[in-house]
């Protein structure tokens, strides 16, 4: 994992050193898009006994820069502003030897983060692409357990994630690997299916090596292929 993060750092450093990093030039190479989808992953444990999955929906607003390595291979850098909601569900815990049997409800968790993502994208046919990527969390906005209208546990203003606060897991983890297949019928719309592998590895939790496999479906809409900062649009 440390090698992977070092690769991310070096890639970002090289990205910053390019001549096109001058603001007037880099804006011509940045696109922004919005994506919506659903996600499922498993491997979480309740009371270190019952394994359960997390399912939910997410919305990303992203800024992306692509760099062509050759005619078919592209290196992509992306910043995702993420909002996700993990659905509530009931799980049953059973331990016959200890005479334990009960059903409990895991609440929905609404959360918001900023992720940095680096990807290698290869063109297979005119409309079909596949991609391998690594995504890591760089900032936490908030999380909220239960109903939005009820005074349940939240971290508004605390900038802390559920796992950092000892809470039940939400729809995201600090690190995610993925392999995806994407269909791009036109220059604006993309449909993707991804196989994901999540991990709780962070700089503060470098010893964590547990993985959480899952699936992801999403649709992406490109809003602008030449994004400009608001103060430069005139």
Give the C-alpha separation, 157 to 170, whole Å.
18
Residues 37 and 163 sit within 8 Å (Cβ to Cβ):
no
- Give the end-to-end CA distance of the chain in Å, rounded to a whole number: 44
Checking if the pLDDT of 26 tops 50, the result is no
Q: Would you give the distance in Å from CA 74 to the centre of its chain?
A: 20
Mean pLDDT of 150-164: 56
**How large is the average pLDDT for residues 2-21?**
47
Give 40-50 pLDDT, tens digit per residue. Answer: 999 888 777 77
207: which 2 tokens?
Answer: 């010893």
pLDDT interval class at 28 (50, 70, 90): low
* Least reliable range by pLDDT among 6-10, 17-21, 74-78: 17-21
Model pTM score: 0.79
Query: What pLDDT, on a 0 to 100 scale, did the predictor assign at position 148?
Result: 56
Residue 24 pLDDT > 50: no
Average pLDDT over residues 174-186: 94
Per-residue pLDDT tens over the stretch 87-130 = 998 887 777 776 777 788 888 889 999 999 999 999 998 899 99
Q: Measured between alpha carbons, how far is 27 from 224 in angstroms, rounded to an integer?
A: 11
Q: Is the pLDDT of residue 155 over 60?
A: no
pLDDT by residue (tens digit) across 52-72? 899 999 999 999 999 999 988
How far apart CA 191 and CA 25 sit, in angstroms, is 29
pLDDT, residue 16, reads: 46
pLDDT at residue 8 is higher than 80: no
Which residue ranges form the domains of the chain, and what is each CATH number? 2-232 (2.40.160.20)
Supply the mean pLDDT for the chain: 80
Question: Which comes out higher in pLDDT, residue 203 or 2?
Answer: 203
């Amino acid at each position: 994992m440390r090698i992977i993060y070092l690769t991310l750092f070096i890639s970002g450093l090289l990205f910053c050193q390019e001549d096109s990093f001058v603001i007037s030039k880099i804006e011509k190479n940045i696109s922004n898009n919005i994506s919506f989808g659903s996600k499922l992953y498993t491997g979480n444990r309740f009371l270190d006994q019952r394994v359960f999955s997390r399912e939910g929906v997410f919305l990303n607003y992203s800024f992306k820069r692509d760099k062509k390595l050759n005619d078919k291979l592209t290196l992509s850098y992306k910043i995702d502003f993420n909002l996700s909601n993990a659905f509530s569900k009931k799980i049953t815990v059973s331990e016959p030897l200890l005479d334990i049997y009960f059903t409990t409800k895991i609440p929905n968790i609404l959360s918001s983060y900023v992720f940095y993502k680096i990807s290698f994208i290869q063109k297979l046919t005119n409309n079909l692409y596949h991609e391998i990527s690594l995504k890591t969390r760089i900032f936490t906005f908030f999380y909220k357990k239960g109903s939005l209208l009820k005074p349940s546990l939240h971290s508004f203003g605390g900038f802390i994630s559920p796992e950092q606060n000892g809470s039940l897991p939400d729809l995201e983890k600090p690190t995610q690997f993925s392999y995806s297949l994407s269909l791009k019928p036109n220059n604006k719309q993309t449909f993707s299916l991804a196989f994901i592998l999540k991990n709780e590895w962070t700089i503060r939790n470098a010893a964590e090596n547990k993985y959480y496999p899952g699936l992801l479906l999403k649709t992406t809409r490109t809003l602008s292929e030449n994004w400009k900062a608001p103060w430069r649009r005139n």
